[in-house]
Structures are given as C-alpha cells and as structure tokens.
Amino acid sequence: MIRSLLFLLLGPLVITWAVAKPLNVLFIAADDMNCDLGAYGNPQVKTPHLDQLARAGVRFDRAYCQQPLCGPSRASLMTGLRPDTLNMHTLKHELRQKNPDVVTLGQLFKNNGYFSARAGKIYHYGNPSMIGTDGNDDPATWTERYNPAGIDKTREKDIINYGPNKGLGISMAWWDPVSEDEEHTDGMVASKIIELMKEHKDEPFFLAAGFFNPHCPYVAPRRYFDLYPLEEISIPDLNEGKADLEDVPPMAIQRDTRNWPYFFKGITVEQARKCKQAYYACNSFVDAQVGRLLSALEEHGLVENTLVVFWSDHGYFLGEKGLWYKRKAFERSARMPLIFSGPGITSGGTCKRTVELVDLYPTIADYAGLTPPGKLDGRSLRPLLTDPAAAWDKPAITQVWHSTKSYGYSIRTERWRYTEWMRGKAGRELYDHDKDPNEIHNLARNPEHKETIARLARRLKAFDHQPR
C-alpha cells in the first residue's frame, strides 16, 4: 500500500524530470553545399540520409545566408549577428579582434554547463590549406576541438587541377581515390563526433561536425563518383547563360567577367562536367557521414533528446549562367539547405517561408531554454518548426561585399528578389520567383514594377549599414 502510494506521488515527478532533461544539440555543417540534393527534389543526387533527416523534421526551402562567403557567413550564424553588425566581410581572422565580448552559440552552451566540442570546420578554414589546424576557429566557443587531416590534405599532389597553379582553395580540381571514408578528413570528422557522442552521452552536449566537402577541391572515395556516370552529367548551355547575363549590372558578376565562363581562363565544358560530377560525389560522401551520425544517435538512445541541425554556409553555382562558385547575390549562391529535426518539431514538414542563417542562434537557444546575451539580429524559427505554414513576414537579407566601393544588398521575400548595387548607383535587379525561379529576366527597368521596387527598396534600406 505504501509502495503504491509512493508510486502515485513520485510518478509524476519522474515524468517531469524526464521532460526537463537538457536538450542535446548535434550541429552539422557542410561547406559550399547548394540545394542540388535528393532531399531538395533533385532526383539525380543521392542523399538518402538527408532525405531521412528531412522526413523526421522540417526542411526549409527558402533559407538564405547573410553573405555568400565562408568567413562572414559562419561568423554571422555563430553569433546571431549580421556581417555589418560584426563589421566582418572578408576571410580575415578577426571575430574577437572586432567583437571581443561576443558570446557565440557554442559558448552560450558551454557557459550553461554543456560539453561543447567541434571536429572539423565550423568557423572559416582555408580548404585544404588549413585542414589539420585550428584555422580561424574561436577557442572560447568550445570545451574541446579537433582538427583531423585525411588524404585530401596529406596527398594534395594527387589532386587533378584544371585551373592555374594558384593553390586548391579556389580551383577546378578533383580526385577520386580508391579509399575508405575514414581515410578522408570528413570521415575522420564523423568518427570523432561519434566518439564524443559515446563519451558524453550521459551529460548535455553541443557537438558540431564541420564537414569540408563539397568545397573544392572535390575529393571523395571513388565509389561516390561511381554513383554519377559522367555521361549523365549535363552542363547548362553557355549561349543561354551569356544571354541571361545581358541585363545584369556589371558589379553583380565583376569577379566572373574576366574569364567567363567557369571563372578560370581555358576551362572546357568537359572539364566543368567532370568537376560537377565530383561535386555531386562529394555531396553523397557528406550524406554518408550524416548517416553515420544519425545511426550513432540511435545506437546511444539519444534521438528523443537531441536537436539535429543541418546547414551549409551558402549556395554554389555549377555552370548556371556560365558561372561557378559563390559570392554572388543570385538565388543559386544565396540559398542553401537547412534542416531541423528533434523533439517538438513537426515530422516531414516543408517550410516555404524566407528564413536566414542568422536565425539559427536564437532558434537553437530557444529550444534549449537558454537566454542569449544581448540583442540578436535573427529570430527564433520555433513557430515554423511547429507549423511550417505559420504566418511569417520576415524577409531574408544577403549582402555581397568586395570593398567599400563595391558592394550590394539583396532582399528575398517569398515572391521577389530585389538587389541594389551601391544603393542603386551601380544598378538594380528584380526577379519574380513565381514566374522566373532561375532569375533570367531582370525586371528592375520595367515601369510596371515601379511600386514593387519602391516597396522593397524601403524594406532593404533598414539593412544597409555601409557608411553613407
């Protein structure tokens, strides 16, 4: 009788304690990954594990970076502050120089008793030059950090480079060794996070897996290349690409004009096809590592108490409009994959609202019940993770910055992308995504859209913080 009474009295408390257990975070980053993924509706690209993650949670179809360049994009999402707020627009290692008191996302968790660790690339690293080092990492973010280096770093001489001999960090280069996943840096990253997951499964953790792929050079085990027969890889027509750029302000493609197409002088269509094959192979290689991480969560009974966030730092061109790489204000460069899965998140949800990487910090802190210090520039996505179709009137802002005399800001709503170069002095762009998802027809000079431009320009002005 006494035992029954104790059970009735203590049972609800036991349930309360289980619910109140701190939420773990598995934070998974890809480098330069666009939305050419099976999980985003591209049937050619095989990503079964990202498909699985999307079915378990919410996939954001209109997610955008703050700047399509690794350094400022990653610093922004790790602080919840825009590049202008941080005064960071380049690849320089200056987060703490310019923002000594900022509390980063991982640091927030560490300060609240979590084990915070990363393996691989979360902040900017030169790839492959900084693999195996701390790169531009922020030590205050982590309890522990790890920098594995695989054959993609130790055997750089075997990588085939089509471009000029100026290093591999910006290159049209690939390699398909007959190798095992764990011989590569990204395979080692996954293995280290799995090891840390096992070691710290009984305490709250924030674990960040920073994959270097599919950033160039495009290196993955050969079996991932074999998923994409070269004869099935197509490249957009160059004549159509050139026509697409005729109504674009010169500043929008100033980095690409000199050696158009494909960024480097002399690159052939066949070489571009080979690099695209290699990029797709790297996407599938990253997907396999994501699968290993998800399996480890299940093995250690952590699925029900872990928030999983998958993101890339920006999008990527693969020959569309004859362009390659990122650092442009077009959709292809500004948009990237973003998937959330975990307790309290809708399963199999697809969200069409415009969201930003700067929203990750407040969202993850919100789910963990942690209070960020000071005001953040992003907004918690929690309403959309509960109901992906919920009302949401927040645009996404992407900026491209080359110098104080060459920059642009772009605003994306669910229908429109509007871009100003040097506040319109160097040109404007307007694209109607309901009718023109590939941004072929610049409507900025069309008088029929004068009111739309004026309305979007007013909204954009609030985000332009360059000196006037």
- The H or E element containing residue 382 is helix 382-386
The residue among 352, 337, 334 whose CA lies nearest residue 429 is 334
Instruction: Give me the catalytic one of 49, 124, 184, 215.
Output: 124
Q: Report the C-alpha gap between 46 and 228 in whole angstroms.
A: 9
Residues near 461 by Cβ (< 8 Å), separated by ≥ 6? Answer: none
Q: Is residue 351 flagged as an active site residue? A: no
Neighbours of 307 (CB within 10 A): 22
Bridge partners (DSSP) of residue 209 are 28, 119
Q: Is residue 89 flagged as an active site residue? A: no
- The H or E element containing residue 432 is strand 428-432
Q: Which two tokens stand for residue 57?
A: 């949670």
Three-state secondary structure call for residue 428:
strand
- What stretches of 99-138 show up as alpha helix (H) in DSSP? 105-111
Three-state secondary structure call for residue 97:
helix
Q: Report the C-alpha gap between 311 and 187 in whole angstroms.
A: 18
Taken in order 154, 158, 161, 165, the sign of the CA dihedral is positive
Q: What DSSP state is assigned to residue 22? A: P
Neighbours of 111 (CB within 10 A): 13
The residue among 248, 206, 217, 226 whose CA lies nearest residue 112 is 206
Instruction: Give me the catalytic one of 35, 49, 65, 70.
Output: 70
Amino acid identity of 389?
A: A
* Active-site annotation, residues: 70, 124
